[in-house]
Amino acid sequence: MSSKTMLGMLFVMVIMFAVASFRQQIGGALDFIFQYIAFGGEYPVLTLVIAGTIMITLGTVIRGFLQNPIKMARNQQIQSEFNKELRQARIENNLFKLKKLEEMQPQIMAMSMQQSTDQMKVMPITMLFVIPIYAWVWFFLSTGTVDEPGKYFCAGNEIFDTWGYVHVEMPWTAIDLNGVLFMNFPVWIFIYTMISLPIGQIENRLIRLYLLKKELKKLDLEVKRAEIE
C-alpha cells in the first residue's frame, strides 16, 4: 500500500472521528440548508429518501469527474475476461495457456492495485461531503432529552412516541427509525443505505454514458480532422 493511500485512509478516519465527535454541532449547522427537506419531521422516510439521494449524487458526481469511469470500466472488463480465461484453462487443464496467463497475472494484479489506489485517493474528498450528511440525518432523527428535546421529534410531534423512538408505519409493520437491527446497526442507516445503493448505480451508469459519448465525440472529431489533413 502506497504512502498516499495510507494518508488518504488516515484522512478519512480523521473526518469520521471528527463528525462522530461533533455530530450535534455539525448536524445543527447543516440544518440551515437541509431544514427544507425535513418537512417539520412529518415525513421522515421521505426526508431519508431525499437526503440519501443528495448524498449519493454528490459522491457519484465527485467520483465520476475526479476519476476516469471509462478507464475503470475497461480495466474491470479486462480483469473479468482474464479471470474467465484463467478458470477455463484450469478446467481444461490447458498447461500452455495456463502458463501464459500466469505470466500475465502480475500485470493484471498491478492494474487492480492501481485502480484501488485511485479510488482511495478520491475517497477523502468524497467523505468530506458525504459523512456530514450522516451527521445531519442523525440530528434530524434525534429526540434529544427531556431537558433538551430534538428539533423535529419531541412531545409535540405525532410520530414521536417516547424518548428515543421515532415510529413510522411501513406496509408490513410499524418500525422505530432509531431502533437497531443487529450488532447495534441503526434502522435508519439500513433504510438510508438501501435507498442510496440503487440510486448510486443508476447515476454511475448515467455518468459513464455521458463521458463515453463525450469521448466518442472527441474521437470522431479527431478522425475527421485527420481525414481533412
The candidate with the shortest Cα–Cα distance to 137, out of 37, 14, 21, is 37
Residue 73 resides in a domain = yes
Residue 229 resides in a domain = no
CB 150 within 8 A of CB 159: no
pLDDT confidence bin for 149, thresholds 50/70/90: low
Q: What is the pLDDT of residues 7-35, one digit of tens each?
A: 656 656 666 666 666 777 878 888 888 88
The rounded percent of the chain whose pLDDT value lies above 90 is: 0
The mean of the pLDDT values for the chain is: 75
Containing structural domain, residue 184: 3-224
Q: Report how far residue 208's alpha carbon sits from residue 54's, in angstroms, rounded to the nearest whole number.
A: 19
Mean pLDDT of 108-137: 78
Q: What total number of domains does the chain contain? A: 1
Residue 22 resides in a domain = yes
pLDDT at 192: 77
In this prediction the pTM is 0.67
The rounded percent of the chain whose pLDDT value lies above 70 is: 76
Residue 171 resides in a domain = yes
Is pLDDT at 38 greater than 60 in this prediction?
Answer: yes
Q: Report how far residue 117's alpha carbon sits from residue 40's, in angstroms, rounded to the nearest whole number.
A: 42
Backbone angles phi, psi at 185, to 5 degrees: -85, 115
Residue 52 resides in a domain = yes
197: CB partners within 8 A, 6+ apart? 56
Mean pLDDT of 92-97: 80
